[in-house]
Structure formats: structure tokens, C-alpha cells
Amino acid sequence: MVQYARPLARLVGEFEKLPGIGPKSAQRLAFFVLRQSEEEARALAEAIVEVKARIGYCRVCFNFTDREVCEICADSRRDAGLLCVVADPRDLIAMEKTGEFRGLYHVLGGVLAPMEGIGPDQLKIRDLFARLRENAPREIVLAMDPTVEGDATAMYLATHLKNLGLRVTHIAHGVPVGGSLDYTDPATLIQAFEGRREM
Ligand SMILES: [Zn+2]
């Protein structure tokens, strides 16, 4: 075991908790911070504290925002007749990067995963239906990752949404099977959006 001075061990330990960061990368990041100026290191620490203090969920779509209602929901130029349902705020960002989608979003906050105890009540599904009761769009576009859980979530939503007489489509699987929207390049995602099919 490497023996770090205690504050350094603490920083390495914190970096190791980050996704995709192993002990070696954690060490590299910690030593990078050590070499930074006091000012740069403080800016990093403050950015982390600020994001936790100021960012919350949009009360309409559950995207991350520093306002009560996010910029997308507040934008009257967006097409309220088109609602894209995504699992994660990162998927929303992926869709936005394409520049093709001009509708609104609903972020579920995950996908159904019964084995992990994630059922409809753990996601923003009830909020989605409440929202649809107030304002029914002409089309709901499901944009779930092509994974087992993503497909199951899309099927669940499609069944319930169609029962309400809503038109439901799913983006085409130009997105590689088992892949994630988040890692799909904008051009592929545009194709997937344009090739969306009825559910
Ligand atoms: Zn919003």
C-alpha cells in the first residue's frame, strides 16, 4: 500500500469514488490538484460546492436546472405538441446536441429495474401522467437506451400511454444495441430520431 500524507490520501480516496476512476487515475488527479495554484484548486472545490447548492430539478420536466422551471420548459418557441421522454438528464443533453428536436422533455430519472427495486414509483412516471392530463401532446417520443431495462421501460410506458389514446413513437435503434444515448454521436441520434417508429 502506498502511504500518502493524510490530506493527500483523503483526496485520492474522494477521486476514487468517481465513476471510471481507478486508484491510478485518482492518484494522477490528486497530484494534478497539488500542482495547481491555490486559486485553481479553490475554483474546483467551489464549483463542486456550488453545483450541489444551486442545481435542482425542474418542477415540470425534472431536468437539472438552477431555476424553478428549466430554460427548455420556459421557452415558448419550443413545440409543446412533441414530448420526448428520456431516462437521464444526460440523454436530454444528447438529444439537444443534435439541434433537431424542438419539442419538450420529460426526464424519468432512471429506467425500470425490478431486480434493483426500481419500479414506476421510483421514477417520475406519475408526474409524467399528471403532466399529460393537463396538456396532451400530439406525439410522445420515447428515447430510451437499447438495453433490456430501456426496452422494458419503453414498453411499459407505451402500453399505458396508448391506453390514454396518445400517439407514442420510439426513436429507431441506430443507437447501438446495449449502448447509451449519451455516448451516441449527434448524427446517429438525428437518424434515430428521424427513423422513429410507432409503438
Ligand atoms: Zn424543464
Q: All 3 cell numbers of residue 184?
A: 451516441
CA of 170 to the centre of ligand 1 (A): 21
- Segment 122-137 shows an average pLDDT of 94
pTM of the model: 0.80
CA of 60 to the centre of ligand 1 (A): 5
CA of 187 to the centre of ligand 1 (A): 24
Q: Give tens-digit pLDDT for 62-119.
A: 999 999 999 999 999 999 999 999 999 999 999 999 888 999 999 999 999 989 999 9
CA of 73 to the centre of ligand 1 (A): 4
Is the pLDDT confidence value at 181 over 80?
no
Confidence of residue 186 (pLDDT cuts 50, 70, 90): confident
Confidence of residue 177 (pLDDT cuts 50, 70, 90): low
CA of 141 to the centre of ligand 1 (A): 16
Report pLDDT for 3: 80
Report pLDDT for 131: 94
CA of 77 to the centre of ligand 1 (A): 14
Confidence of residue 192 (pLDDT cuts 50, 70, 90): confident
Higher per-residue confidence, 189 vs 82: 82
Is the pLDDT confidence value at 1 over 60?
no
CA of 146 to the centre of ligand 1 (A): 24
CA of 65 to the centre of ligand 1 (A): 8
CA of 62 to the centre of ligand 1 (A): 6
